[in-house]
Amino acid sequence: MVIAMKKTHTYTLPSAKEARKRFRGKTPYVDFAQRENLGNIGRGRTYLLSTYGCQGNEADSETIRGILEELGFESTDDERRADLILLNTCAVRESAENRVFGELGRLKQYKRTNPDLILGVAGCMPQDESVTDRILKRYPYVDLVFGTHNIHRLPELLEDAILNKERVIEVLSEEGRLVENLPKRRFHSAKAYVNIMFGCDEFCTYCIVPYTRGRERSRDPGYIIEEIRDLKEAGYQEVTLLGQNVNAYGRDFQTRKYSFADLLEDIAALKIPRLRFTTSHPNDFDDATIAAIARHENIMPHVHLPVQSGSDRILKRMNRKYTKESFLSLTTRLRRAVPSISLTTDIIVGFPGEREEDFQETLDLFEKAGFEGAFTFVFSPRRGTPAASYADETSKEEKKERLMRLNEYVNAAYLKGHERFEGEDVSVLVDGPSKQDEGMLSGYTPHHKLIHFPGDASLVGRIVTVRINEVRSFFMKGEHLEDT
Ligand code: SAH
Ligand code: SF4
Ligand code: F3S
């Protein structure tokens, strides 16, 4: 929907109706490298970018940084001096949104001290028409709003905002295209996220992501493989393949048959030392994928497998398309193929209609699946999703109490997941200095366990061997063994 505003410019606003649509045609494709000179609107200017969302949002932030730096912007941590402050937002739960609105209120002060400051909101929140409407009406000092489908238009949007001093709002709800060869400025020098697909067609009844991210679109494997080959040449040790449902990769290809398992096989063959993927949907996780994980040493033995609930009745109302039994059969097959595998999950408590006996099913499944960690959430109604209008009789207190009970299981599971490595020598990809302990380094093991150990900064970015000598619920400690 395009609405003519005042004299000079137009706003492109999102539409919930458009965001719901799906078509099955070929995805339009744009090559960013074919663009004319991007200009240098950022020369002499600084930017500060904050990211609120999932790994997909972080990957988008790497692209936003890449474009900004090509335009000449330099990064700063000082919000008083930044010429551009951008918030890359998440809409998945109300709490994430509230943080962003709170932050906008706080950042308003810098518009007074720096009248040229451009304050922008990007990402999933603006894709919700009520959010963009709220910003339009109640946050007049926000200069720039764009969504998840038009990051590649950032150079033009910034020119309008900075040179023409316009308030720029461009949020597209169209099905989305695939844009290749976008510049990226990565957050890490040893591990990288690589999008393999965008969007989601699952429409779990609680979830806003299919509306904020649009239709499922898989990248051409050629581009993915090229990107990973380049990363490997640049010294990257670990790649995490990203998608809202990576197991659906390739489902949208029109003329070829090429699945997620095919992609895993082809990428594993590139010999990048560590390969991970997230997020998996239990319903689409096939045996070919299990076989690929078992076959390749460089596919890490950790799968994040969101289950959401253990009650068949609730799973049905969530539109998850599997049952407790079929889920447990999947975890059994995974363990049979990769006996040491570590499984983690996401769980929502207090979904509308969830009774105590449903919750008990969740606790039971949590134990039976042998999870070693979980992100747990209280159901948050999201505008425009079916579950937001389901009758819900459980009180907030009851839901919080269920969350606390579940978290006791989860905390015990983290500890148990660590205890099995006590005294072992494990390989660790060193991330950087420990956030928790000065003089310590931190990194992750193949099973995605966090470990702290004393060591020299020169180890950062390398895979080293560490002997574990202390285990706690949320981390382990160890000593670096000299490499032989
Ligand atoms: N595509 C991924 C991640 C989606 S968002 C997946 O399918 O697992 C990450 C997690 O947020 C979800 O797994 C779910 O547990 C949680 N979540 C999503 N919508 C939510 C809502 N409305 N309320 C509470 N938690 C939610
Ligand atoms: Fe949301 Fe479900 Fe898609 Fe995950 S699979 S992004 S929970 S709709
Ligand atoms: Fe949030 Fe958007 Fe990711 S809603 S979870 S940032 S896809």
Q: Specify the CATH number for the domain of residue 299.
A: 3.80.30.20
Q: Is 190 in the pocket of ligand 2 (CB under 6 A)?
A: no
* Segment holding 105, helix H or strand E: helix 94-113
* Smallest-distance ligand from the CA of 346: 1
Residue among 346, 366, 375, 406 to mutate when testing ligand 1 (max atoms within 8 A of CB): 346
Paired tokens of 52:
């609120």
**Contact indicator for 208, 312 with CB cutoff of 8 Å:** no
Residue 54 near ligand 3, beta carbon < 6 Å: yes
Please tell me the distance between residue 210's alpha carbon and the centre of ligand 2 in angstroms. Answer: 7
235 shares its domain with 118: no
Say whether 131 sits in a helix, a strand or coil: helix
pLDDT at 301: 98
Helix, strand, coil share of the chain (percent; to 5): 35, 25, 40
Shared domain check, 432 and 385 = no
479: its two tokens = 């000593």
Task: State the number of CA atoms in the 13 A half-sphere of 129 facing the CB.
Answer: 14
Query: Which ranges of the chain have pLDDT less than 50?
Result: 4-7
Cα of 12 from ligand 1 centre, angstroms: 28
Range of the domain at 449: 425-481
> Do both 184 and 309 map to the same domain?
yes
CB-facing half-sphere around the CA of 451: CA atoms within 13 A:
36
Q: Is the dihedral of CA 73, 74, 76, 78 positive or negative?
A: negative
Residues 189 and 247 reside in one and the same domain: yes
Whether residues 6 and 62 share a domain: the answer is: yes
Ligand 2 lined by 184 (C-beta under 6 Å):
no
Pocket lining: 56 vs ligand 3, CB cutoff 6 Å: yes
- Does the Cβ of 276 fall within 6 Å of ligand 2? no
Contact 283, 320 (CB under 8 A): yes
When divided into structural domains, the chain yields a total of 3
pLDDT tens digits, 199-245: 999 999 999 999 999 999 999 999 999 999 999 999 999 999 999 99
Name the domain boundary from 396, 419, 442.
Answer: 419
Considering every ligand atom shown, identify the ligand nearest to the alpha carbon of residue 100 and give its number: 3
| Shared-domain flag, residues 410 and 429 | no
The domain that contains 463 carries what CATH number? 2.40.50.140
> Which of the listed residues 116, 135, 170 is the one where a domain comes to its end?
170
Looking at the chain, how many residues does it have? 484
What is the CA 337 to chain-centroid distance, rounded? Answer: 27
CA–centroid distance, 228 to ligand 3, in Å, is: 24
CA of 476 to the centre of ligand 2 (A): 31
Which of 209, 211, 242, 348 has most ligand 3 atoms within 8 Å of CB, for mutation?
Answer: 209
Strand (E) positions, 212-321? 217-218, 238-242, 274-278, 302-304
Ligand 3 atom showing the smallest separation from residue 208 Cα = 4
3-state secondary structure of 364: helix
